[in-house]
Amino acid sequence: MRLLLILPLLAVAIAQKRSYDGHQVLRVGPLDDESYFVLRDLQMTSNALDFWTEPAPGRTTDINIPAEGLASVKGWLEEKGVSYTIMIEDLGPLSESNGIKKLEDFVPKLGSKYAMDWDDYHDHDTLNDFIAALADANDFASIIPIGESYEGRKMNVLAITKAGPGAPNIWLEAGIHAREWISPAVATFIVRELVEDYAEHPSYIDNINWYFLPSANPDGYEYSHNQDRYWRKNRAPNAGSSCYGTDLNRNWAFHWAETGVSFDPCSEVYCGAAAFDQPESANIRDFVLTLDPVPVLGHTFHSYSQLWLWPYGYDYGAYPENYKEVQQLAIDASDALFQVHGTVFDPINSADLYPAAGASDDWYKSIGCRYAFTTELRDTGHYGFELPKAQIIPSGEEMWAGFEVVIDRVQQAIAEEKAKKNL
């Protein structure tokens, strides 16, 4: 059986909101070297299957498959000797389990400062409204517009600059993959804790400037609300193709397009025609390069898999000069995170999971960030991208604990640098 025969069955044109009724998510593996190469080749050369997690040796990979292709895919996996189990029996009901609260529907309550809460997932406008409210309420904070998305949505950064010019900077980015709704939810939870609970940890803001982008892919994020729940890319058209979107986390100019990408515009991991050819990634690049000094930390939030990833991810064995320091910080942060709710995060090198070039965290490290991380938030696959909204706050609480370890290490590094200069 050749899987190519089922590709027409799996091509779905989206004229209205896409239904996932009858779709199954299969958990394939754990993969040995042979089955890894089979699936990796399939992912890179076809658009038949929606890979929710990337194939990697020794690990499982989760694949979303339409009902009409299930029998063919299962038969093909069996023919190749690749094991699988059914992770989600019917994706349809689960895909409708989480809704999005829109800013336009917000009814102000007595004492409310903003529409944002962490009992629900929220739209792009609410994210921007939230950071604007923090800026309005604090004289050490402001909003910096860094540009617009392809469809004209505002990409606004919250700047927390009480520490002042010359102080160390931290850069936080969330939501670069549209369907990963928990990413901006947890990132905003952390920023709320940072700002509104200032009195509990004043040094975090007194000594460090923070810059936060809550929605790095606003068009894709909105599209995942209104049209296709599992849309991953941005929404820019591709010349010569009827397929839309570039994977913004394969579009950065550090070893761009070398590994783990596709040059097919219809692919979920399409890297674009050139590095930074997308407005969203170019906007972020242009802004981050204005920060002086270079951020000591560049951090990006993703989901799912419960991983604390450290660079580089573009190839096996490609480690930064201070990789032992970065690795140990990932381990320590994951240990602190575990103490909150017993959630296990695996602190590993990105390429040891799977090589993929052109990711934002690799670029952050390449421009001189001392630390650069990607966190893959809850869960490990029971819900996948449909993490129940009841888990937003617990996920934020544990991530904050991990972040405190990182911030403390950043402050220690600052003190060490000052001590060297005074010798």
Q: What mean pLDDT is predicted for residues 355-373? A: 97
Domain match, 193 and 113 both: yes
Query: Residue 80's domain is classified under what CATH number?
Result: 3.30.70.340
414 vs 404, higher pLDDT = 404
pLDDT tens by residue, 260-319: 999 999 999 999 999 999 999 999 999 999 999 999 999 999 999 999 999 999 999 999
Domain match, 90 and 105 both: no
Domain range for 49 is 3-95
Distance from C-alpha of 329 to C-alpha of 327, rounded to nearest angstrom: 5
Domain match, 104 and 131 both: yes
Residue of 180, 193, 268, 376 with catalytic role: 376
Whether 376 is catalytic is yes
The helix or strand, by DSSP H or E, that contains position 126, with its residue range, turns out to be helix 124-137
Model pTM above 0.75: yes
Domain match, 149 and 65 both: no
Among the candidates 95, 114, 140, a domain finishes at 95
Other CB atoms within 10 Å distance of the CB of residue 292: 9
Q: Are 118 and 396 in contact (CB under 8 A)?
A: yes
Q: What mean pLDDT is predicted for residues 102-110? A: 86
Say which residues have a Cβ less than 8 Å from residue 229's Cβ, sequence separation at least 6: 18, 20, 95, 179, 385
- Total tally of structural domains belonging to the chain: 2
Domain match, 161 and 85 both: no
Strand order, beta sheet including 84-88: 50-51, 61-65, 24-28, 84-88
Domain match, 209 and 347 both: yes
pLDDT tens by residue, 133-192: 999 999 999 999 999 999 999 999 999 999 999 999 999 999 999 999 999 999 999 999
Q: Are 375 and 309 in contact (CB under 8 A)?
A: yes
Can you give the pLDDT at residue 3?
A: 55
Query: Residue 202's domain is classified under what CATH number?
Result: 3.40.630.10
Residue (of 251, 36, 285, 7) closest to 155 by Cα position: 285
pLDDT at residue 110 greater than cutoff 80? no
Domain match, 202 and 139 both: yes
pLDDT at residue 9 greater than cutoff 60? no
Domain match, 307 and 228 both: yes
